[in-house]
Structure 1
Amino acid sequence: MHDHIAVLLLAAGAATRMRGRDKLLEEVAGQPLLARMIARAQATGYEVLVTLPDLAHPRALLAKDTHRVPVPDAAEGMAASIRAGVRALPGHITGVMILPADMPELTTADLRNMGEAFEASGSDPEGAICRATGQDQAGHTVPGHPVLFPRRCFDALKQLSGDAGARHVLNGEQLRSVALPAAHALTDLDTPEAWDAWRQQHDRR
């Protein structure tokens, strides 16, 4: 059990681009995407936190075996989820791995690779930020998710605002790139069309 690392799954967004469908409840291999992502995160042995619109939301039942973090101001954007999630971290955590929950290609092995990169630096709370990269359709290496922040960044993450996520925390930072397979770090599914195309490509229903 790597009890100094936590996985923070961001699952409080309204998914407005899905036009009435909830992307985190879309089925992948016979289970809702959020359940799949939680299971993969839990299999790492890391502590798992999940941000949610509220504890009465249908997503909350899927996260019942995690540390559930309600985000009443989730409409503000991703920053509200990150703020709430980082504020809820247990005191012994020295690194938090943050990722949107709508990334179905990320695997347990990918999340472990991120944690191992952090641990290779001695899990130094003053060390580098680890950021996943993937290959885009042109074969270029592109930064993506997850991003694993050491504890020295926690205060800045707690002060985020708006819908730009943690982008400005990365500015001027030393980043340690962690290459994940194919487009695992890049694939997120925000629209019905994106879901249909992904399912057709991967033959996943």
Structure 2
Amino acid sequence: MKIPGVILAAGRGSRFYRGNKLMARLNGRPVICHVVGQVLGSRLRPVFVVLGHENETIEHLLKKRFGSFIKKKSLRMVINPAWSQGKSSSRAAALAALPKTAPGAVFLLGDMPFVGAKWIDRLVGVFERTGKICFARHGDAVGPPAAFPRSLFEALGKLRGDRSVLNGLGLRKDSYCSVAVRRPLAQADIDTRSSLRLFNRRGEVLE
């Protein structure tokens, strides 16, 4: 059974100061295109992109770049009118759009362009074998991307604001598993203009 992917890409990204960070160029391509391209290269299907701030601009770009996937319904847009209320509102919007038969879903962030398709498939494989929540792990830290079973969809949908899922659900260490990333860069996000400049100098590295 196919597992859908959800890319949360609705926020304003106020720390980026001017402009939309998802539209900013990373090694010649918009950040959001790096993310969507890698997720579409994985086993996740269908892929949902949750949009909010400047949704028309991003949707136009994605239709132009990934039109064939949209035509096949492998890539779908979800508009979150309550995007200013935090990531939890985008998760709720995505959960409402997911296929009723989906055994779970993988949630990713639209500003994390260094997560590669092969690593995503590793996460999916562990999730399929264990049925547990699966987080990305580097060292002792766990975080997104993460896979969640359908049994937790209701609890996920009740979280509010930008509180972390780990704390919001009160998870014990034995209730979830994790998949290691080899490089800390794989969990890096584009939050500020200085981080964008740094990553552009270093070049693209995928996990």
Q: TM-score, normalised by structure 1?
A: 0.86
RMSD over aligned Cα atoms: 1.8
> Which residue, out of 28, 43, 46, partners 1:45?
43
Aligned-pair CA distance for 1:170: 5.1
Partner AA of 2:176 in structure 1: L
Cα distance, 1:177–1:45 mapped onto 2, change above 3 Å:
closer
- The Cα offsets for residues 26-52 of structure 1, whole Å up to 9 and x where unpaired, read as 122322111121111111132200000
Confirm or deny: 8 A CA contact 1:153 1:169 kept in the other structure.
no
Contact map agreement 2:144 2:187 (CA 8 A) in 1: yes
Residue of structure 2 in register with 1:13 after alignment: 11
**Aligned amino acid, residue 32 of structure 1:** P
- Identical counterparts, % of pairs: 27
Amino acid at match of 1:169: L
**1:16-95 equivalences in 2 (<5 Å):** 16-46=14-44, 47-53=46-52, 56-64=55-63, 65=70, 66-95=75-104
In 2, Cα distance between equivalents of 1:187 and 1:170: 25
Alpha-carbon distance in structure 2 between the residues aligned to 1:177 and 1:191: 28
Contact 1:54 1:60 in 2 (8 A): no
Deviations 1:52-94 (A, max 9, x none): 0178521112333221110101001111111111111011111
- Note closer, same or farther for the CA distance 1:5–1:110 as it changes in structure 2 (3 Å cut): same
Match for residue 172 of structure 2? Answer: 172
Separation in 1 of the partners of 2:107 and 2:193?
24
3-state SS of paired residue (2:146): strand
What corresponds to 2:133 in structure 1?
129
Q: Alignment length, in residue pairs?
A: 191
Matches of 2:124 and 2:150 in 1, distance apart?
14
Contact map agreement 2:26 2:199 (CA 8 A) in 1:
no
Counterparts of 1:171 and 1:7, CA distance in 2: 22
Whose helix fraction is larger, Structure 1's or Structure 2's?
Answer: 2
* Cα distance change, pair 54–128 in 1 and its aligned pair in 2 (3 A): same
Question: What stretches of structure 2 of length at least 5 have no aligned partner?
Answer: 64-69
Q: What does residue 67 of structure 2 align with?
A: none
How far did 1:13 drift?
0.4
- Superposition pairs for residues 85-164 of structure 1, below 5 Å? 85-121=94-130, 127-134=131-138, 140-164=139-163
| Distance verdict in 2 for CA 1:23–1:128, change over 3 Å | same
